[in-house]
Each structure stands twice: as structure tokens, then as C-alpha cells.
Amino acid sequence: MLNILLIIIYLAFISLGLPDAVLGSAWPTMHKELNVHISLAGVCTMVITAGTVISSFFSGKLISRFGTGKVTAFSVFLTAFALLGIYISSSFIWILLLSIPLGLGAGAVDSALNNFVAIYYKAKHMNWLHCFWGIGATSGPFIIALYLLKESGWRMGYATIGIIQSILVVFLFLSLPLWKKFELDNNENSEEKSNTKILNLIKIPGVKSTLITFFSYCAMELTAGLWGSSYLVVTKGVSTEEAAKYISLYYLGITIGRFLSGFLTLKLGNKQMIKMGQITCILGISILILPLSINFQLMGLILIGLGCAPIYPAMLHETPNKFGKEISQKIMGIQMSVAYIGSALVPPLFGILAGVMGFEMLPFFLLALVITMYFMSEKTSQLSLEQG
């Protein structure tokens, strides 16, 4: 049964990644057809992020009541509904409204499946799961690109991704008896009623430092990805085309790194993987700070990507070990919410900072986030040892 559910979860994570980078790829064409300003893509992104944060935050309560299988199936249904709705949308207002279920669906399924894998599967599967998300996130823009050469091609791109999601919805609903049987056998929903309120959870030793760790990691990863290209162009004189290639290698480093990390977890524990990733990030950022040639700068970006690779999956997989299986889903939901907030707020804040102080600040900004993440994760580990 676990093997069948694992296949479904892997497919769900490819599906989860598919819509994530689609709007950015399609928007240059979409905004012209919809006759709206190009800047309004940011409004859609804010709505999607807000929905994702809200659904992640309350995912623990939803899963306690309905179970992981039902929440996952309904969440993917929401994303499929939103994508197919965007396909037939005639105005920006409809796309903005459909961004709400798109965000709500993504947050709930992300939190639900991460916790399920953290509890019932080995660390290698968590790394490979997020590698599969990367495959989906890479495939989404590629699907859009295939259709953009045609008239209203972005619509067919959204329709194709929506159909893929719809097919997965069918499989998820067919698999509900498996989820139900597994949850009954393992008493997944028998969380203790005490300590389940959000304020009580945050007061648990180690939770606050863990939340800061998640916030810092996602802020660092997304800031490097969003502004790395501009940093190379403005401060190193790299052409726009070359800089774009370098950033793609940064993301490739994350994807390949997570695939390789799956094998490393057979020998190393989560805490070791997190520390190894953080040290690798610091090494990569240090190379960016030093006045070295552009080839070394490229190496620095790739090292940052490789360093990012094991951190997030290992932190997620460590959640039940730190706080117990009984409350891990609620903790997971809060962690995911804080992570999304970090990825949504900090990159734009750096853009404001760069406008005042220059893009030369990027490596120092990233270094501050990694150091914060390092000390907060060390603090959490120390608390775990004292409690143990």
C-alpha cells in the first residue's frame, strides 16, 4: 500500500510544481491580450501567495478532520479548476479571482504531502520528492513555450496543464480508499487535543527558532534566484543572456543536488545534511564576495544551488522527529506558511535595498540570511538534545 501511495505522491508533486512558474512565462503575452499593464502580474502573485499561506496555516485542522487523502484530492481539484478557468477567462478580473483557489489548493497539498512523507517514508524520498517538484516547475514554462508560437497559445498551455491536473484528480479520488485504510490503520488523525491551538504550538521549545530557520532559508533561496541575474549584469558586466544561463544553472544545481542528496541520506542524518548544505551555501556566497573571475562567480552560484538542495527537504523530514508525530502536521502547516511568507516578502525587500545601496549588497544580504538560518537551526538542535 505504501508503495502505491508513494507513486501517487510523486505524481502529485510533479503536478504541484507545474503551475508555479507558468504565470511568469505566459504573462508577456497574456497582459497584451487582456489589455492590462504588465505590472499586474505581481497582484496575481500576491493573491496566490496569500491563498497558499492561509491554506498551509490551517492545513493541520483540515487534515485532522478530513484526512490527508481527501485534502490532497480536493486541493488538486482546486488547482485544476483554477487552471481550466484561466483558460476560458475573458478578463483580468477572472484571472485574479481564479488565483484564489490556485493558491489555496497549492498550500494545502504541499503541507499535507510533506508531513505524510516525513512521517512514513525515509529521508531519501523527501529529497527526491522535491526533485520531482523541480521537474514539474521546469516543465510548466516548457509547456507554455510550446504553445506561445500560436495565437492565444498561453490559453492552450494553461488548458494542457489543467487537463494534466484533472487526470491526477481522478487518480487521487480513486485512491481515497487506500488513504482511508492507511489512516485508520495508523491512527493518523488521533492527534492529542491538548497543545493543538496555534498559540500553544508556537510556545513549544524549538518552534520559534525552527520558524525563523524556514523563513531565512526560503528568503535566501528565492532572493538568490530572483536577483542573481541582475547582480551579474550590474556588478560583473555579464550580458543578460549569459546571466540568465547562469541562474538556470543555479536552479539546476538545486534539482540535481536534491537527487544526489537522496543517496547521501542513506549515510547521513537530517541534521548533518542541513549543516552540510548551509556550509556549502556559505562557501558559494564567499566566492561571490571575493574579486574573482566570472568563472568563479558561476561556480559560486552553482555551489549556492547545491547547498540549498538538501536543506529544505531535511528540515521538513526532521519535523516529526523534533516535535512528535502527533502534532507534526500542525507544525508543518505553520512552517510552510512562514516559508511562503519569507519567499514572498524578502526578495522584493532586497529589490528596494538594491535600489538604494546597489546590487553589490546581494552576497552580504544572502550571507546574513544563511548565518541566521545556521544559528537558528543550531539552537533548535541544542534544544532537542536538552529535551532528549
- Round to whole Å and give the CA distance between 268 and 85: 45
What's the confidence (pLDDT) of residue 387?
A: 53
Backbone angles phi, psi at 250, to 5 degrees: -60, -50
Q: Which amino acid is at 292?
A: L
| Positions of the chain with pLDDT lower than 70, given as ranges | 1, 151-152, 184-196, 383-388
- Round to whole Å and give the CA distance between 82 and 331: 28
> Could you read off the pLDDT of 21-52 as tens digits, one per residue?
788 778 888 888 999 988 788 788 889 988 99
What's the confidence (pLDDT) of residue 1?
A: 65
What's the confidence (pLDDT) of residue 189?
A: 47
What's the confidence (pLDDT) of residue 250?
A: 85
Q: What is the pTM of this model?
A: 0.82
Residue 148 burial (CB count, 10 A)? 18
What's the confidence (pLDDT) of residue 152?
A: 62
Residue 199, exposed/middle/buried by CB under 10 A (0-12, 13-18, 19+)? exposed
- Round to whole Å and give the CA distance between 41 and 99: 11
Nearest to 47 by CA among 18, 81, 23: 23
Domain architecture of the chain: domains with CATH: 10-186 (1.20.1250.20), 199-387 (1.20.1250.20)
- Round to whole Å and give the CA distance between 144 and 186: 41
107: left (phi over 0), alpha (psi -120 to 50) or beta: alpha
- Round to whole Å and give the CA distance between 205 and 187: 26
Query: In degrees, to the nearest 5, what angle opens at C-alpha 36 toward C-alphas 147 and 20?
Result: 50
Give SS3 for 58.
coil
Contact 232, 246 (CB under 8 A): yes
Dig out the grid coordinates for 292 from the structure. Answer: 574573482
- Round to whole Å and give the CA distance between 335 and 329: 10
